[in-house]
Amino acid sequence: MTNEIFLTKAEQLKPVLHHQAVLLAGNETPMKDGGECIFDFGRHCVGYLDIEFGTEGRHPDAPLLFSIQFAEIREELDYDPEEYHGWISRSWVQSETIHIDDLPCTCRLERRYAFRYVRIRILSVSNNYAVTIRSLKADTVSSADDSQLMPASLNEKDRKLDEVSVRTLHECMQEVFEDGPKRDRRLWLGDLRLEALTDYVTYRNYDLVKRCLYLFAGSTLEGGRLSNNIFLYPQPKCDDQTMFDYTLFFINTLWDYYCASRDEETLRELEPVCTRQALLLKTCFDENHLLDTEKAGNVFIDWNLRLDKQAAGQGVYIYGLSDLVKIRRQLGLPAEEFEREIQLKKQAVLRLYDESKGVFVSGPSRQVSYMSQIWIILAGAVSPRLGASVLEHIEKMPEAEGMVSPYAVHHYIQALIDTGQKEKAYEKMHAYWDGMIEKGADTFWELYDPKDPLASPYGGLIVHSFCHAWSCTPSYFLRTYFRNRES
Ligand code: RAM
Q: Is 391 in the same domain as 440?
A: yes
300 close to ligand 1 (CB < 6 Angstrom)? yes
CB atoms within 10 A of CB 190: 23
Question: Per-residue pLDDT for 379 more than 80?
Answer: yes
Q: Is 27 in the same domain as 63?
A: yes
Digit-coded pLDDT (tens) for 117-170: 999 999 999 999 999 999 999 999 999 999 999 999 999 999 999 999 999 999
For ligand 1, what atom is nearest to the CA of residue 180? 8
Question: Per-residue pLDDT for 487 more than 90?
Answer: no
What predicted TM-score, i.e. pTM, was given to this entire model?
0.97
**Å from CA of 487 to ligand 1 middle:** 34
Average pLDDT, rounded, for the chain? 97
Q: Is 209 in the same domain as 295?
A: yes
Digit-coded pLDDT (tens) for 313-367: 999 999 999 999 999 999 999 999 999 999 999 999 999 999 999 999 999 999 9
Is residue 10 domain-resident? no
The pairing of beta strand 18-31 with beta strand 95-100? unpaired
For ligand 1, what atom is nearest to the CA of residue 189? 10
Closest CA to 413 of 336, 321, 482: 482
Domain span at residue 468?
Answer: 146-481
Q: Is the dihedral of CA 413, 414, 420, 423 positive or negative?
A: positive
188 close to ligand 1 (CB < 6 Angstrom)? yes
In this structure, which residue's CA is closest to atom 7 in ligand 1? 184
Is residue 242 domain-resident? yes
Structural contact between residues 169 and 459, judged by C-beta atoms closer than 8 angstroms = no
Q: Is 191 in the same domain as 44?
A: no
**Å from CA of 455 to ligand 1 middle:** 16
Q: Is 125 in the same domain as 24?
A: yes
* The predicted structure's pLDDT at residue 484: 85
Cα 386–395–431 angle (5° rounding)? 110
406 close to ligand 1 (CB < 6 Angstrom)? no
For ligand 1, what atom is nearest to the CA of residue 469? 9
Q: Is 444 in the same domain as 314?
A: yes
Is residue 132 domain-resident? yes
For ligand 1, what atom is nearest to the CA of residue 465? 8
